[in-house]
Chain A
Amino acid sequence: MKPARNHPAYWAFLVHRVSGIALALFLPLHFFVLGRAIDGEAALDGFLRWSHRPAVIAAEWVLITLLAAHLAGGLRLLALEFLPWRDWQKTLAALAAAFALLAGLAFALAR
């Protein structure tokens, strides 16, 4: 990381962009699997059984965390762009990170 970029807002930008790319690539797969439900429960259940592998659960956990990060980071951006300016952007970025980890944790505990 170049020194000019090593600060919280740049990290927030990188997380937002990388999570966005990952989610956009994941979505077609997600839709495809749900589309199997048209052939009845059995087809979907076949996939869900496959998804019980630890590696798949880990990948799910990563995706949930990325989704939560993209949500919280996106709310931060909307606040920066549309609300009157305040000098608490670094706090916002920290809150977004905390929210993403909490969502990931909630998923891990529930799963």
Chain B
Amino acid sequence: MSARREARLWVVQRASAALLAFCVAVHLVTIVYAVRGGLSAAEVLSRTRGNFAWMAFYALFVFAAAAHGSIGLRTVAMEWLGWKKSTADLLMWFAASGLAGLGAQAVYAVVRP
């Protein structure tokens, strides 16, 4: 049971990584484009407000990052901090819900019309 769960977490980690590879590439280009001539809220929000494509993109990005980051932190906690699996699992769920919650709030804040 445990082995199957670990293997499935590994699959989620790789699948989210593949999604993130796409999202981060887009994000890096957007950042470099956006910071030219200084960053302003008006400029950022005019791009994102009410734009369904950006909303879908950032929602996917947040979801993948929450999954990927939380599984990664779980592994680090077990390997580098010597946490028990059950404690590391709690950290994973805490990080996943925290990142997803804050991320969803951020996406809503920048894309709401």
Direct contact of A and B (CB under 8 A): yes
Binding site for B on A (CB under 8 A): 17, 20-21, 23-24, 27-28, 30-32, 34-38, 41-42, 44-45, 48, 51, 64, 67-68, 70-71, 74-75, 77-78, 81-82, 103, 106-107, 110-111
Among the listed B39, B70, B102, which residue makes an inter-chain contact with A31, where contact means beta carbons less than 8 Å apart? B102
Q: Is the CB of A34 within 8 A of B106?
A: yes
Residue of B nearest to A46 (CB): B41
Which chain A positions have C-beta within 8 A of B62? 31
Q: In the complex, which residues of chain A have a beta carbon less than 8 angstroms from the beta carbon of B69?
A: 20, 23-24, 27
For B70, list chain A residues within 8 Å (CB).
Answer: 24
Specify which of A31, A51, A77, A103 is in contact with B106 (CB 8 Å cutoff).
A31
Identify which of A20, A34, A42, A106 gathers the most chain B CB atoms within 10 Å of its CB: A34
CB B36 to nearest CB in A, in angstroms, measures 5
Jot down 29 A-B pairs with beta carbons below 8 A, ordered by A: A20-B72, A20-B76, A21-B73, A21-B76, A24-B70, A27-B65, A28-B102, A31-B62, A31-B105, A31-B106, A34-B109, A35-B105, A35-B109, A37-B106, A38-B108, A38-B109, A38-B112, A45-B42, A48-B39, A48-B41, A64-B28, A71-B25, A71-B28, A74-B20, A78-B17, A107-B32, A110-B33, A110-B35, A110-B36
By a CB distance below 8 angstroms, the chain A residues around B42 are 41, 45
For residue B24, CB closer than 8 A to chain A, the reply is yes
B31–A107 touching, CB < 8 Å = yes
Closest A residue by C-beta to B42: A41
Chain A residues within 8 Å of B36, by CB: 110
Task: Report the minimal beta-carbon distance from B41 to chain A, rounded to whole angstroms.
Answer: 4
Q: What is the total number of residues of chain B having a CB less than 8 Å from a CB of chain A?
A: 39
Given contacts A23-B69, A34-B106, A103-B28, 6 further A-B contacts (CB under 8 A): A34-B109, A34-B110, A44-B44, A106-B32, A110-B32, A110-B35
Query: In the complex, what distance in Å separates the CA atom of A51 from the CA atom of B38?
Result: 11
List, in ascending order, chain B residues with CB within 8 A of A45's CB: 40-42
Q: Is the CB of B106 within 8 A of A35?
A: yes
In the complex, A17 Cα to B72 Cα: how many Å? 9
Q: Would you list which residues of chain B between 40 and 58 have a CB under 8 Å from chain A?
A: 40-42, 44-45
